[in-house]
Amino acid sequence: MDGESPYQKPGRKLKVGVVFGGRSGEHEVSLVSATSVISALDRDKYDVVPIGITQEGRWVSSARALQLLKSKDGLAQEPERFLAPEPNRQALISADGPGSSEVGVDVIFPVVHGRYGEDGTLQGLLELANVPYVGAGVLASAIGMDKILQKQLFEHAGLRGPKYVWFLSHMCKESPRKVIAAVEKKLKYPLFVKPANTGSSVGISKAHNRSELGTAIALACEYDLKVIIEQGVKNAREIECSVLGNEAPVVSVPGEIIPSNEFYDYDAKYVDGKSRSIIPAELPGKVVTEVQRVARAAYKTLDCAGMARVDFFVTRKTHRVYLNEINTIPGFTSISMYPKLWEASGISYAELLDRLITLAIERHREKNSLKTSYHPARDWYKS
């Protein structure tokens, strides 16, 4: 390719494909995030192309795709369109085959949370299609989705987090007593039990004793092939930071979550409407600086791009900072911390979307400037 793309033409609106839904337990959260993103995109700058992925993995793209996924009515009759995994089309093609119309896209904004969207799989497709996309690349997405691998990398980088152990799910099912004994040998209650590859607190439980631990492990095994068990940080506050950028990321002011339940589970995040946030968090200046430093370090350790939200525990009396995890496609709902933290830092929701799209295009242009072929001195491979 010659490096020229439609988004470089002056006076032309960018066609932004917003991808939402997906095959994960966070399907509904994604729909709410997409509603906010689509509503906030500036129609003077962008033509929005809604791209919905059903819970069965079927792709649909039309003006009513979002509403159809919410209602689940009429989806079977909606024409299927999907992104072609080859670099010269940069378009959604119809499942009806040759002769059907194509819908070009200049950049993709994924708001697909969880597996098959946030874990590098969708990003791999977008790389094959040679389409700019918002957010982390394949590697950072895959590692950022896996709570175990990201913690191992954070440890290697000297970033402190809560103590933890992990097990393959089949071990938990085949030898539950042995697993529980191993957990109790290394960690102290209360414990947080999590599937390794989910977000939005899906499948996560807090265990105060052996009985609750067994139940929590069984639940986590329903959602993933690996289970991580973390020791709870006593007297901890839940602090979050937003990160924005590619090679030179910037960090927002920190915010604090006050969950309505014992911990910030799915209901506390999305359902009961009783959790609240304090933005900016009421922390000493030195603690704010440390949280921001660690957030930036975590982002760069995973080689993130575009955006991420970084979550912490900070103890109330001693202000010790523990890195919890990173989220490479944070929620974009009206109550989500990622955009709210940037708003408190001086970047409006609409401007944030503009910046993310610009960052996606810049990174894509840089990658497309790299050589993808090598010409040896002789054509040895033809012999």
Can you give the C-alpha Rg of the chain in angstroms? 22
Q: 14 or 2, which is more confident?
A: 14
CB 17 within 8 A of CB 107: yes
Helix pair 337-344, 349-368: axis angle to 10 deg? 100
Least confident of 51-55, 69-73, 96-100, 168-172: 96-100
CATH 3.30.1490.20 matches 163-231:
yes
Distance CA(54)–CA(125), nearest Å, equals 17
Instruction: For residue 301, give the amino acid letter.
Output: T
Q: How remote is the C-alpha of 95 from its chain's centroid?
A: 28
Per domain, the residue ranges of the chain are: 6-133, 163-231, 236-364
Q: What is the pTM of this model?
A: 0.89
Helices (H), the chain: 27-40, 65-71, 121-129, 138-145, 147-156, 169-174, 176-186, 210-221, 266, 285-301, 337-344, 349-368
pLDDT at residue number 17:
97
Give residue-wise pLDDT tens across range 267-301: 545 454 567 899 999 999 999 999 999 999 999 99
3-class secondary-structure state, position 325 = strand
Assign 130 a pLDDT band (cuts: 50, 70, 90): very high
Distance CA(115)–CA(31), nearest Å, equals 15
Name the class of domain 6-133: alpha beta
Give residue-wise pLDDT tens across range 345-376: 999 999 999 999 999 999 999 999 988 888 88
Q: Dihedrals φ, ψ of 129, to 5°?
A: -80, -10
Give residue-wise pLDDT tens across range 330-352: 999 878 999 999 999 999 999 99
pLDDT at residue number 9:
58
In order of 23, 88, 260, 337, the CA distances from 340 in angstroms are 27, 37, 19, 5
Least confident of 80-89, 166-175, 232-241: 80-89
Place of tokens 């791009």: 305
Cα dihedral 219, 212, 180, 200 in deg (nearest 10): 40
CB 144 within 8 A of CB 308: yes
- Residue 109 burial by Cβ neighbours in a 10 Å radius (0-12, 13-18, 19+): buried
Pick the CATH number of 236-364 from 3.30.470.20, 3.60.70.12, 3.40.50.300, 3.30.70.20: 3.30.470.20
Considering only CA atoms, which of 262, 288, 293, 292 is closest in space to residue 275? 262
What tokens were used for 101? 């119309």
> Pairing relation of β-strands 46-53 and 14-21?
parallel
Q: How remote is the C-alpha of 72 from its chain's centroid?
A: 24
> Pairing relation of β-strands 255-258 and 205-207?
unpaired
Share in percent of the chain as helix, strand, coil (round to 5)? 35, 25, 40
> Pairing relation of β-strands 107-110 and 14-21?
parallel
What single string gives the DSSP state of each residue in 132-178? -BSS--HHHHHHHH-HHHHHHHHHHTT-----EEEEEHHHHHH-HHH
